Chains A and B, each alone.
Chain A
């Protein structure tokens, strides 16, 4: 086995074991830190990991920046609330309503997408904002949504010390689900189509990509998952009102999280959410006085966008690469002839060999 192949094997092994460590850490977090304070941070962090990843699956991969994810988030929350009230669902049975939240999210995404995905970039952003406000206003105005009072979630008769744990694991399952989905999409042709659309939609269409279908599919998936996590959020807070279920800051936050971590990467939104959500909650507590919290948050965002503009993961990756390849030539060394497989040694068909390109 060549040095390179051996290194590749080791790297792959390292990668998988690292992922196993992360997964174990996530699963054991409530065990190692059983305090409700810790698990509370965990729940909110995972809710936003899910939301940011779902946003990224559509907006990050396709390049269509959507500021209307709260439409799905709030709709999912309200769906669970309305169903719980009208079907008299109580206690733990209420978690069975979560798939409904996902279904509602998907159901809204289809007409929403059909309308909004016909336009490009700037117009698209504003249409998503407009639809968001329409939904918020509907939540205020209709009586079945409880009007300005909103809707309550059924009471869960659990112990205070372990109350958060169930939510933590449910949110973790949702987060894991969307992360795996994002990873699979990225590797599949579907992901390639999305990236082609991001790079140049007209050219992608010319090459045969069914742009509207691809975009709509990603949008619907994103909507379904965001609706689902909205339902989880509602059950955790036990109350949804129009301004909290449909909160404009929600959209800005998840965009920021995805950007911080690295737009279009799978792990980027996860990282961004893990840093920003607990960070913001904690900084507000730490700097509760004197309005410093806001200024600090803004300053941090500013520094991040200016110095880490493509996100932590891509930029960090570049820094590390630059560090480790310093002094070495940029081109990989040519392989000795004997190691090259006989099939590619045909001089007529091979282009530049080894490092000559």
Chain B
């Protein structure tokens, strides 16, 4: 029984790393720009498909391919924000972003169906199925690399947000949009670039998702988005570290409950979310409401 619990905790941490990579982009976008990016799920899938094409057609390794997919999706993110989200204004702006991103998700899904068809695809590489034997547990390389990447990314984004001028502009915009403009920050540029960073990071999440999921097709985005939303709210909107903590926390709970009853594991996931939110509405690492809600 004890081994089962340890195994479950290890699994929770490792899978949590994968989810963190998918959620980090979402929390950045939601927290900084107040945008409910329903398209996050399909963007993860898009990242997976891009890695798929690179590895199948050009034989480029999954991790090396990130050097191409991340900038590509960064540009896509900037374009989407500039073309479709920037024009939105008014009191209902947040809800409108929900609809715009839903529309984008439909379009991207349709395009993926056209290009790749409905069959499930996988990301395969020689190291995906090998693992290292540590303390009686087998830790698959792909998950270790993924978790490592998640930590690296979290640190990198943290540095970006707290040690660079751009990061300061982003945080200023997040705290008070109008005040930021008043002191001369070009908030539209900040918004576009932040959205781009959020989507670019999602390319990494997409690759990891593709490599660990057993198979994905254009329809796979729907399952993801609700879990990702839950994770980022739990971690605190805009908190990069929070996304990692919340991912690991949630996946560990799911993993532990899996021992007893997998069918209830998901319900516990959501019930835990509701519980935490009632006690602490801003999530684990979210700051107190900095904007009038």
Contact = CB atoms under 8 A, between A and B. Distances in A.
A131 interface: yes
Contacts of B270: 130-131, 133-134, 137
Interface string A272-311: 0000000000000000001111111111011001100110
Given A65-B98, A310-B90, A291 B114 contact: yes
Given A137-B263, A256-B102, A295-B111, A127 B277 contact: yes
Contacts of A255: 95, 98-99
B264 A309 contact: no
Interface residues of A, number: 43
B267 A137 contact: yes
Interface stretch (A79-87, A114-122, A329-337): A114-122
Given A137-B264, A259-B96, A248 B88 contact: no
A100 interface: no
Contacts, number: 131
A294 B84 contact: no
A310 B222 CA distance: 27
A301 B230 contact: no
B38 interface: yes
> Which residue, A65, A130, A293, A296, has most C-beta atoms of chain B within 10 A?
A130
Interface string A224-239: 0000000000000000
Given A255-B99, A297-B106, A302-B100, A118 B274 contact: no
A298 B277 contact: no
Contacts of B278: 115, 118-119
Interface residues of B, number: 47
30 contacts: A115-B278, A122-B30, A122-B94, A122-B237, A123-B282, A126-B229, A127-B274, A127-B277, A129-B226, A130-B271, A130-B273, A133-B267, A134-B267, A134-B271, A137-B267, A141-B267, A248-B222, A255-B98, A256-B99, A259-B92, A291-B113, A293-B110, A294-B110, A298-B108, A298-B110, A301-B100, A302-B107, A309-B88, A309-B96, A310-B90
Given A127-B274, A141-B267, 17 more contacts: A115-B274, A120-B289, A121-B94, A123-B282, A129-B226, A129-B230, A131-B274, A134-B270, A141-B263, A141-B264, A255-B99, A294-B106, A294-B107, A295-B107, A298-B104, A305-B99, A309-B96
Interface of A: 65, 115, 118-123, 125-127, 129-131, 133-134, 137-138, 140-141, 248-249, 252, 255-256, 259, 263, 290-299, 301-302, 305-306, 309-310
